[in-house]
Amino acid sequence: MSKSFLIFDLDGTLSDPKDGIVRSINYALEAHGFDSRAEADLLSCIGPPLDASFRELLQTSDESLISSLVKKYRERYADVGFAENCLYDGVFDSLRSLYGEHPLAVCTSKPVAFARKIIEMFDLDGFFEFVDGGDVGISKVTQLSDLSSKGLVGPGSVMVGDRMFDLRAAHENGLRSVGVLWGYGSFAELSAEKPVMMLDEPRELHRAAGSCV
């Protein structure tokens, strides 16, 4: 039988990826002759799929350009960007308290190879039964749908994330969601998606387990 997992987003939920993402986006923009952007202008890029972020930033539908930007971004991210990541205070202890009491997993829009490097860097890999990653053109809705159709994720599972994309993906797959407020989604953004609860700090992550059925 499928298990009822607590499924965690990675960026903005378990770790803060700001420096690596901002620097790698600007690296890709500059390599293509575009001006770099201020950090504040790039925070909205933390959460959505990377191709969608570049499409929005440049207001372009040129798929060859988008593909080239993504490739250049990943060139830097694979080298140093993934390591420019900080684990939120309280995450490790919360996962340790949940481990063994509830099955845990990760579902992130970033490629699974990057996700695993980050998770291993913080010694979190032993907590999760699986790590699911995305790629260009694959939404989190599709990721969760695939996990459900493969029988990996049961209908009582809960998606925990900091952006509307996480919560919306859960709801479109008939799952519950929990919003976290220490990441990059605002209270207004998250509350509009009607999660079963919102958490103020990582030390409250254990509360999300009560939402699984």
| The predicted structure's pLDDT at residue 48 | 86
Q: Which residues contact 41 (CB under 8 A, 6 or more apart)?
A: none
Active site residues: 9
| The predicted structure's pLDDT at residue 26 | 98
Both tokens assigned to 6: 């607590």
| The predicted structure's pLDDT at residue 135 | 84
pTM: 0.93
| The predicted structure's pLDDT at residue 47 | 85
Q: What is the DSSP string of 112-169?
A: HHHHHHHHHHTT-GGG-SEEE---TT--HHHHHHHHHHTTSB-TT-EEEESSHHHHHH
Helices (H), the chain: 18-31, 39-42, 50-58, 63-79, 91-98, 112-121, 140-149, 164-172, 187-191
List of domains in the chain: 6-16+86-211 (3.40.50.1000), 18-83 (1.10.150.240)
Stretches in the chain below the pLDDT threshold 70: 1, 213
Dihedral angle over CA of 122, 190, 97, 174, nearest 10: -110
- Identity of residue 74: R
Residue 143 and residue 175 in contact, taking contact as beta carbons nearer than 8 Å: no
- Identity of residue 177: S
Residue 10 Cα distances to 69, 138, 163, angstroms: 22, 16, 11
Residues 170, 171, 176, CA angle at the centre, nearest 5°? 70
